[in-house]
Each structure stands twice: as C-alpha cells, then as structure tokens.
Amino acid sequence: MISKITLLIFFSIPSLAHSVDNDLFISILACESSGHSRNQRGKPLVGDGGLAKGIAQFHQNTFNELSKKAHMKNMHWLDPIDQMRLMVWAIDNGYGNRWSCYRKLTHTGEYRAQKNIPEMRNY
C-alpha cells in the first residue's frame, strides 16, 4: 500500500501539478515501489537486478538523461521528491513507457478500461 506521507508529498508540491492523471501516477508508484523509497533497513529500495532504485525505480542513467531533457537542475537520483517530479514530467512528455508498470497499467487490463484509454499497439 502506498504510504500516506507519499500521498501528502505528492499533492502538496505545486511543481507536480501537470496533466498526468493522479490515479495513474499513484498506481504506477504503488506498482513500482509500493510508494516507498527505502527498505526496512533504510537502504534505497532496489529493483530490476539492482539497477533501479527509489520510489519511482529509476535507473541512474535514465534519471540523468530525463532530468537533462527536462532542464531540471540540481536533481538527485535517490531523492524521492526529485524522482516523483521527474516521473511526472516524463509521463507528461511521452516517456511513460520507460516504466513497466506504466505499460502494464495503460496498455492492458482493468485500469485502461476504467479510464477509457484506447488500446496502444506500438509500445
């Protein structure tokens, strides 16, 4: 379950107000990391064979690439707020397919049907 603090952070940061559907964003975070940036030992949450870390499960090279494209300076790879800001920008600017949970949620299944998202064939 996504943490209440994660939701509070997301909805209180004005820079996160983009055209990304809130339900979609929260669902992606829940799928990627259960809304947590660290494990029970306080270490960054790790996935994808050790390459993806944090609340949005960014690979470091993807984080650096997208933050450069977004012209976001002073971004820190493992900072959960920076990860959420960049994920919102990425989804808002057509890079959502970088996350397997985005593809799963928008291209197949129940979420797409609920939100009337048309089937996408080239992903």
77 and 60 in contact (C-beta within 8 Å)? Answer: yes
Indicate the domain borders of the chain. Answer: 4-114
* Backbone angle region of 8, left / alpha / beta, with phi > 0 → left and psi within -120 to 50 → alpha: alpha
- pTM given for the model: 0.76
pLDDT tens digits for 88-101? 899 989 999 999 99
Q: What is the pLDDT along the chain (123 residues), one digit of tens a residue?
A: 455 566 666 555 555 556 677 778 888 888 888 777 777 777 777 788 889 998 899 999 999 999 999 999 999 999 888 998 899 899 989 999 999 999 888 876 555 555 555 444 433
Q: Which among 35, 25, 32, 27 has a CA at the least distance from the CA of 2?
A: 35
Q: Determine the Cα–Cα distance for residues 113 and 118; give it in Å rounded to an integer.
A: 8
Q: What element of type H or E holds 35? A: none
